Amino acid sequence: MKRKRSLVRVFRESSMASTKSLHLILLLLLIFVAVPTDSSKEFLQRAREPEFYDWMVGIRRRIHENPELGFEEFQTSELIRRELDAMEITYKHPVAVTGVVASVGSGKPPFVALRADMDALALQESVEWEHKSKVPGKMHACGHDAHVAMLLGAAKILKERSDELKGTVILIFQPAEEGGGGAKKMVEAGAVEKVEAIFGFHVTSKGPLGTVASRPGPIMAANGFFEAVISGKGGHGAVPQLAIDPIVAASNVVVSLQHLVSRETDPLDSQVVTVAKFEGGTAFNIIPESVSIAGTFRALSKESFFLLKKRIEEVIVSQASVQRCNAAVDFLMEKHPFYPVTVNSKELHLHFQKVASEMLGSDNLKDKQPAMGAEDFSFFSELIPGYYYFLGMQNESHRPLQPGHNPYFEIDEEVLPYGAALHAALAFEYLSEAQAHPVENKRVHDEL
């Protein structure tokens, strides 16, 4: 405001001002008005305040001590609702069994969403510390406990600034990301029915604390699972000619499946086929009746993914047949729905760069290469423009952190203010820009 007043004063004091000068000054005034506020930095300062920080840490640790698997997050959901009640934030529950969908703001368009996943993994925690998992065989080994704490932190920041929100922020606490397709269930339940853009994130041990990494376009792969039973004829190992050996057939299947990527795929078109399970036989000298194999397949484009699916079934059935066996292939879609490619909106990438650079500094924005891991945030981003980014938490003052899905996985809790503040700022600034520059809401329906 001081800069604007000084321009006006200069103009008024100038007796030689022309119409051209007036136009120039008015243009400058518009530019200064459009300059973003320091809200993003204020959000980070707020999230770093000791009382605020300790509150988030407490939430994260309570969730960590009581991990729950997909669609079983009843205690986690209850904790979230208690915190939302304390903030006087309205919500819907249950959504997709245990999910919670809350809202902050005017209750009117535009609508932008923030998402956190909340399920744990079936792993026994090996880290010895005060808040170790109390549930045998289950732990938060992927950081979803921190994701929930940070989204609640963003909710608190946004609630405190709700009078300034130029629309509505939808807060999505989602179950069952780890293979259960919880995001798909949330979409089917109408969680993003009015939403025109959505943001999600994941902590990572690969980036320094206070850095973020992402990219426009494909960032995570489509993913599917397969299982096949290859049946032959059992017999004694001393007379294999009287049997039809499914182990030999299955071995040829595994080798042939590797050729799909090495000999049928463009080297620049990223695809993966992995057979990770091979079971058959109970004795050293008995050829079994059948063998089962199972694995995963992934691709960075929808077309490549479905071509790979088609060829996997063809190879398994054909190679089994060559060895006089039969094969039945199951893609397990009811239990493990195919995850689409996670694609970041180019427009939201520009928005992310702007907001993140204002908060963290442009040097702390890193390019992220596409990864062949999958993320069910893709069910949101295939329906509406979405943006997914990674939040670094490797701290020089802390021992090296292990990657996710590891019994030694840890969270550097100093990451919590960054996630809470950045999530809040992305939504806050999105609504401000949408109000200033309204455009037609183009929802993209591109089902996998």
Is 22 contained in some domain?
yes
Does residue 443 form part of some domain?
no
Q: Give the number of other Cβ atoms within 10 Å of residue 397's Cβ.
A: 7
Mean pLDDT, consecutive 10-residue stretches, the chain (448 aa), reads 41 43 42 52 97 98 98 98 98 98 97 98 98 98 98 98 97 96 97 97 96 98 98 98 98 97 95 98 97 98 98 98 98 93 98 98 97 97 98 90 96 98 98 78 42
What angle separates helix 74-86 from helix 50-65, to the nearest 10 degrees?
160
Other Cβ atoms within 10 Å of 316 Cβ, number: 24
Q: Does the residue 383 lie in any domain?
A: yes
Q: Are residues 378 and 324 in the same domain?
A: no
188 and 51: one domain?
A: yes
Instruction: Give the residue numbers spanning the domain of 8.
Output: 2-34
H-helix segments, 87-167? 144-160
Its sign, for the CA torsion 255, 260, 264, 268, is negative
Residue 420 placed within a domain: yes
Is residue 178 annotated as involved in ligand binding? yes
CATH label of the domain that carries residue 236? 3.30.70.360
44 and 84 co-located in one domain: yes
Regarding whether 418 and 367 lie in a shared domain, the answer is yes
**Predicted TM-score (pTM) above 0.85:** yes
Q: Is 128 annotated as a binding residue?
A: no
Contact 423, 150 (CB under 8 A): yes
Same domain assignment for residues 194 and 247: no
| Pair (200, 186) in one structural domain | yes
Torsion over CA: 249, 250, 254, 260 (sign): positive
Domain presence at residue 446: no
∠ CA 127-403-100, nearest 5°, is: 85
Same domain? 234 vs 207? no
Asked if 216 and 229 sit in the same domain, the reply is no
Domain assignment of residue 445, yes or no: no
Instruction: For residues 177 and 190, give the distance between their C-alpha atoms in angstroms, rounded to a whole number.
Output: 17
Q: Which residue has the tokens 């506020």?
A: 37
pLDDT of residue 340: 97
Q: Is 93 annotated as a binding residue?
A: no
Structural domains counted in the chain: 3
Tell me the C-alpha distance between 178 and 336, whole Å: 10
Distance (Å, whole) CA 369 – CA 359: 23
Burial (Cβ within 10 Å: 0-12, 13-18, ≥19) of residue 54: exposed
Same-domain pairing of 107 and 141? yes
For 230, the token pair is 């290859």
Q: Is 405 annotated as a binding residue?
A: yes
Is residue 259 marked as binding? no
CA distance 118 to 67: 9
Give the count of beta carbons closer than 10 Å to the beta carbon of residue 306. Answer: 15
Domain end position, chosen among 294, 311, 330: 330
Domain co-membership, 113 together with 195: yes
In a shared domain, residues 363 and 424 = yes
**Any idea what DSSP says for residue 133?**
-
Q: Quick check: is 441 in a domain?
A: no
* pLDDT for 26: 42
Q: Which of 306, 330, 354 is the last residue of a domain?
A: 330
Task: Enumerate the β-bridge partners of residue 224.
Answer: 297
For 424, the enclosing helix (H) or strand (E) is helix 416-436
Q: Are residues 57 and 155 in the same domain?
A: yes
> Does residue 384 form part of some domain?
yes
Which of 384, 391, 445 has its CA nearest to residue 172? 384
What's residue 439's pLDDT? 56
CATH number of domain containing 428: 3.40.630.10
